[in-house]
Amino acid sequence: MRLTKLEVHGFKAFADHLEFVFEKGVTAIVGPNGSGKSNVSDAVRWVLGEQRARAMRGAKMEDVIFHGSSARKQVNMAEVSLHFDNTEGELPIPFKEVVITRRLLRSGESEYLLNRAPCRLRDIQDLVRGTGLGADSGVVIESKMIDSLLSDRPDERRELFEEAAGVGLYRDRRRSAERRLEETTTDLARLDDLINEVQ
Ligand code: ATP
């Protein structure tokens, strides 16, 4: 599986539709300070489902939408698409090319698409996390993650390795199953109380 292309439109400093084509062998993006290198890595993390505005270096998620410049008006929608070559089938979906898209409107509405068809964030997370590509997996390493790696708290370090190894998906599913189990146990207890009351 190879990242072949990144499309951005209205995302951060990229007001117009722009394509970054990653030919084989491209390993770095270089440019002067403030030219938008970090905005490219932000776009990758965002489309993979990043939910924390601060991880996008903003106060609220709408801050990722191009907010205008001296030469241009602001726009009302940010859209990012990531293209993967999936000829080896590493992403568990029967397509040779996989395109993941995320959109956000200034009104707050947001949408995820998989090969241009609307889907849930959960679908994207489930698709990519088994490959170690999830938003928290270490695909993009920010300085805070380096702090976690150097942390003397073993649970913090363990979470990073779990995400990178693709185990995080199962940990989260287990947590949500445990939560549902707890809710069901509470419901059952309430039901017992009700039965006792009417008997
Ligand atoms: P450095 O090398 O200094 O870290 P960089 O090349 O990584 O810089 P970025 O931090 O990616 O650059 O880009 C910063 C630029 O993006 C700034 O000029 C900032 O004003 C612009 N920018 C960020 N968010 C938005 C937005 N929502 N609308 C318009 N411009 C934005």
**What are 3's two structure tokens?**
């990242």
pLDDT of residue 136: 62
**Tally of CB atoms within 10 A around 111:** 14
- Tell me, yes or no, whether 86 and 174 share the same domain: no
Per-residue pLDDT in tens (0 to 9) along the chain, 199 residues: 889 999 999 999 999 999 999 998 888 888 898 888 889 989 998 998 888 787 788 888 999 999 999 889 999 999 999 999 999 988 888 999 999 999 999 999 999 999 999 999 989 988 887 776 766 666 677 666 677 778 778 887 887 777 777 677 678 788 889 999 999 999 999 999 999 999 8
Considering only CA atoms, which residue is closest to atom 18 of ligand 1?
34
Tell me, using a 6 A CB cutoff, whether residue 154 lines ligand 1.
Answer: no
What is the model's pTM?
A: 0.76
**Spatial distance between the Cα atoms of 3 and 93, rounded to a whole number of angstroms:** 16
Cβ–ligand 1 distance for 9 under 6 Å, the answer no
Residue 16 in any domain: the answer is: yes
Q: Is residue 152 part of a domain?
A: no
Indicate whether 101 and 184 sit together in one domain. Answer: no
Nearest residue by C-alpha to atom 8 in ligand 1: 34
Please give the residue range of the domain that contains residue 189.
170-199
Query: Which contiguous run of DSSP H or E holds residue 121?
Result: helix 121-129
Pick from 97, 80, 86: nearest CA to 39: 80
Please tell me whether residues 128 and 176 are part of one structural domain: no
Residue 37, marked binder: yes
Question: 47 near 40, Cβ under 8 Å?
Answer: no
Same structural domain for residues 83 and 29?
A: yes
